[in-house]
Amino acid sequence: MSEQTDRADRLSLPNASRGWRDDTRTSRRGTGRTSRGRQTHDQLLDAARVVFERDGFLRARVADICDEAGTSHGSFYTYFVSKEEIFRKVVDSVEVDLLTVDPAPSETDPVERIRAANEHYLRSYAANAGIMRVIHQVATIDAEVWRIRTQRQNAFAQTIERRIRALQQDGVADPAVQPEYAAQALGGMVAHFAELLFNSRDPVGLDVESATEELTRLWANALGIPARAETA
């Protein structure tokens, strides 16, 4: 697959903020335009993540976020209009961590690309497990958050689908595989496995390295990638 395809896939990743209700109609002039403003914005964002992970979404308060950030209560509303908006920003940052994989050189073996993507997702999920737990909880009680997550997952599946089609065109993957079904199934497998591995009450007891290898083997087998590509 070409670097141009990789770049297009990275640019097509969904932004959750596009799906939320528009609670930012009023422009906040000057927000983040100075280095001090950007620093305060980032401090609030980092603090929000800490508070959401610690207290959960429902019990988290703007005042607690400000205390954690070491800023005044009034400063919060210079940058964000609500607790819901800053939560959305936190979700956006997590999505970037999970779904953005650095492009590989064009000569990289296809299975190595799959392995790198799987390892990236698992390690990113591990680093974000606490906030992912909160995101899952909010999605079960808020239809809008659920819609946004579904939209993101579908868009990511479309990225996987394009990559599968490219592998088929290159004669690497089994042409009989239906890319739209394989993308949903394989992407969902990795996402669900990560949840079981890092956010289950009864952990499956596997390490990231072993999990990456097994998931990659399942991907390769499902796509009918020849053994020569697996060992190249």
Domain with residue 79: its CATH number is: 1.10.10.60
Same domain for 186 and 72: no
Residue 53 lies in a domain: yes
Tally Cβ neighbours within 10 Å of residue 76: 22
More reliable by pLDDT, 142 or 176: 176
Q: How confident is the model at residue 37 (pLDDT cuts 50, 70, 90)?
A: confident
* Structural domain boundaries enclosing 167: 3-16+92-231
Q: Are 117 and 183 members of one domain?
A: yes
Specify the range with the lowest mean pLDDT, choosing from 27-36, 43-52, 150-159, 161-170.
27-36
99-109 average pLDDT score: 77
* 130 and 84 part of one domain: no
Residue that is written with structure tokens 């819901």 in the block = 84
* More confident call, 162 vs 106: 162
> How many domains does one find in the chain?
2
Q: What is the CA radius of gyration of the chain?
A: 20
Q: How far is CA 18 from CA 21, 99, 160, 207, in A?
A: 8, 17, 21, 35
User: Tokens for 120?
Assistant: 């990236």
How much is the average pLDDT of 109-132? 93
Residues 125 and 49 in one domain: no
Q: What is the pLDDT at residue 204? A: 61
Q: Say if residue 9 is in the same domain as residue 36.
A: no
Q: Is the pTM of this model over 0.85?
A: no
Range 40-50 average pLDDT: 95
15: confidence class by pLDDT, cuts 50, 70, 90: very low
Q: Which residue intervals of the chain are DSSP H helices? A: 3-11, 35-59, 62-69, 73-79, 83-99, 110-127, 129-141, 143-169, 179-199, 208-223, 227-231
User: What is residue 148's predicted lDDT score, i.e. its pLDDT?
Assistant: 73
* Residue at 98: amino acid letter: L
Which tops the pLDDT comparison, 4 or 102? 102
Same domain, 64 and 101: no
Q: For residue 93, what pLDDT is reported? A: 85
Residue 18, pLDDT > 80, answer no
| Per-residue tokens: 65 | 């976020």
pLDDT on residue 31? 55
Co-location of 107 and 190 in the same domain: yes
For the record, the structure tokens of 47 come out as 């603090």
- What's the pLDDT band for 203 if we cut at 50, 70, 90? low
pLDDT at position 20, please? 43
Contacts of 63 (CB under 8 A, 6+ apart): 73
